Chain A
């Protein structure tokens, strides 16, 4: 039942964020389709016979993936923080936690209901970026469209991790605002500290640690030594730690 309450409180935001991501996807798709049309027309008009052998489908697919990846990171961060901001810990600040915890249900269920719904909502929001671009991508790179979804699990793992962190810190601090502030501090530190170490003291993290960057799709790592799927699984494992921590906390917390 708490899932229903979370759904009631978050559905409006879900619609807004999904619409925004869809609009970005469609815009990018239009741009992609325009460029593709130009490219095809240019090849057709070209008198170079070798150029006529070139199939731009794969290049356009790569381009589309990069475009989606570029927009995914801010979408991941914003949606995870925005949904995490109103997670179950917020009930402490609103004064409704006594009501929540006196409903006959195991406390772990509250945390997991909240977490599962939020991860599903974030998945929906992020997939809108791909849904928006997909029809245009289909007209340019038919055979590759099905692979576009492969970018989602990694993005979702990072988002679930950030959401779980926000949920945990909101529960820990008993306030949305304090939980969000703490999460932002952690994310900033996590994202910037390795760069700072490298810049100032020339200390480099091992490549496998660097691969756990927030922007997991940036092709700056040695993907061969640490594949995208491995990173995705690693992020997913880290993401699973936080709801367990939240569960541990809520089962001990007093009102």
Chain B
């Protein structure tokens, strides 16, 4: 049994007008909650769709649950619960009918779990799906994915339309009922605080490329923001330097490890260290994918450091 649930090597998806996924090398360990982050159009949804056989890869290879994504789509789908970004099911069916439809595909379907989530999520069971609010649609999509006894849950924007109470409930359900059962959860989201709450692994995709893949614990323990002043900052490079941002008076460096070494190097170049601080996921994400306002006086912009 492999310890990796999702792995891709140079996975590429090219549309006529864009390289949506560009040589993606992704590794999702078994039992992890993997937060897959990226800006709009970064390639998150295309990656998920390619992994599930909804799109055909233009290049590279990938495995989900040890199965080749090009050859074993049905087997992968049998063991994967998927909540799509659009949260669109059959408008004409009620949630009760959707359960009836869905359970036929999954021998491991749990009626007991379905009953529990129906009550917990307060899902109106007799109203056609097309007449439900976005929040209730999201709940139904989760209900169907969570009860099918999947080994892997792929959730694309899982909390869209949910109020804070339901968001909290869903995240707790994911942790208590599914992560504790050894399932792997792959969450694609814009909501960093939610991802930070549940994820133990983070992957950041930008313009179709994976620009960071690390443990969340690593970010807490080793990632640092170094603020310095001086003139020589632009020539500083290091393999662990993730991004550098320059304002009129200060330079801010996001580094992934070896803060002490980096500070020493800055000082050697005559710079004054003003602050070395831990960072949260939001700061890391902005450092990797953040976009500055167009260059104006006093705002020279951010540059992503190339490793």
Interface residues of A (CB under 8 A from B): 1, 4-5, 8-9, 94-96, 98-99, 101-106, 252, 254-255
Contact = CB atoms under 8 A, between A and B. Distances in A.
**Chain B facing A: main interface SS:** loop
A96 B89 contact: yes
Given A104-B78, A105-B74, A255-B49, A5 B90 contact: yes
A1 B54 contact: no
B55 A8 contact: no
A9 B86 CA distance: 22
A99 B77 CA distance: 11
Smallest CB-CB A-B distances: 7 pairs: A95-B88, A104-B77, A104-B78, A1-B104, A255-B54, A254-B55, A98-B84
A98 B50 CA distance: 12
B102 interface: yes
B101 A4 contact: yes
Contacts of A96: 88-91
Interface residues of B, number: 27
Contact of B105 (A8, A104, A106): A104
A102 B52 contact: yes
A103 B97 CA distance: 15
Contacts of A1: 101-102, 104-105
Given A5-B93, A104-B105, A95 B54 contact: no
B54 A254 contact: yes
B82 interface: yes
B92 A8 contact: yes
Interface in B103-143: 104-106
Contacts of A102: 52, 54, 77, 80, 82, 84
A76 B1 CA distance: 56
A206 B56 CA distance: 45
Contacts of A255: 49, 54-55
Contact of B90 (A99, A101, A104, A252): A99
B234 to A, nearest CB: 44
A254 B55 CA distance: 5
Q: Indicate the member of A1, A4, A104 with the most B CB atoms within 10 Å.
A: A104
